[in-house]
Amino acid sequence: MTCRQWRWRVAATQRELDDVARIRWAVFGGELGLLPEQSALSRREVTCVDTLDTTVHVLVHAGDEPVATMRVALPNAEVAANLGAKVGLEMEQRVDLSGLLRPGRLFAEPSRFCVLPKWRRSEAVTWLQAGMYAESRRRGVTHWIASANLETDSPEDALLSWQVAAHRGWLSPHWRVAVTDPCRAPVRPRSPFYTPEERAQAAQGLLDGLRLPRAPSLFARTMGARFIAEPLYDTYFQWFTLPLVMALDEIPADSVARFHAMENDVSPTA
């Protein structure tokens, strides 16, 4: 789908924040069915992290239509105190980030990466990444720590995705985090990702050509993401995710060049 009037902005008004919450519900609730039934009353997906003054919501418009969003959470002293943690990011509930901390590093946690279905083959994804990159640079962020959706609640399929990522050379050679609070997935998974034929292929050690879920593949290819722990089970969405780190200085040069070109063509509104 084409549109000449792409723009991104940091959501600031009540209407813009409402657009953010509606897009998230449309994807996670209406499309994927991952939210509780009561959320359908308002058709908005909101958590306590969204209201922190250290949380930034990037919103992408195609013309006048809001079509994509994501949030970037920066370190928060109150969250750190409440968790008894060092950084103050939501991920510290599940993984130990202390081994990643160094002077001069500022970590932020991107999440809730959502594009409405009819816009996923458009420029919306790139505009969302461009906004995420530009705003993070503006705030002095050096690294993103996140966990990419594996589209399954099957432990077998989640582990296979990890193996496929390793086979593609996408595991970090020097970054690792320890899982502090492992959670068990359902005994009977409802959402397999791989087919029986793909699992049989993997059992023979034939990983070439096997699929990887969209989110980890997208961030590894376009943003230089590398994976730093085995899959985690997310009890909120009831699916597995794959922890990753992205160094802003190591994002592929062609992606950065494209972000700068977009920035020079259309100035984002803050």
Q: E strands along 133-249, which residues? A: 143-149, 178-179, 226-227, 232-234, 239-247
CATH superfamily ID and name for 6-265: Gcn5-related N-acetyltransferase (GNAT) (3.40.630.30)
Q: Summarize pLDDT for 28-77 with one digit per residue, the tens.
A: 999 999 998 888 889 999 999 999 999 999 999 999 999 999 999 999 99
Total-model pTM: 0.91
**Residue 1 confidence (pLDDT):** 40
206: left (phi over 0), alpha (psi -120 to 50) or beta: beta
| Burial degree of 138 (CB within 10 A; 0-12, 13-18, 19+) | exposed
Token pair, residue 181, equals: 């609070």
Cβ atoms 167, 202 nearer than 8 A: no
Q: Summarize pLDDT for 68-97 with one digit per residue, the tens.
A: 999 999 999 999 999 999 999 999 998 999
Coarse DSSP helix, strand, coil percentages of the chain, rounded to the nearest 5 percent: 40, 20, 40
Count how many residues are written for the chain: 270
Domain definitions of the chain by residue range: 6-265
Nearest by Cα to 223 from 70, 62, 20: 70
| Residues paired with 114 in a beta bridge | 69
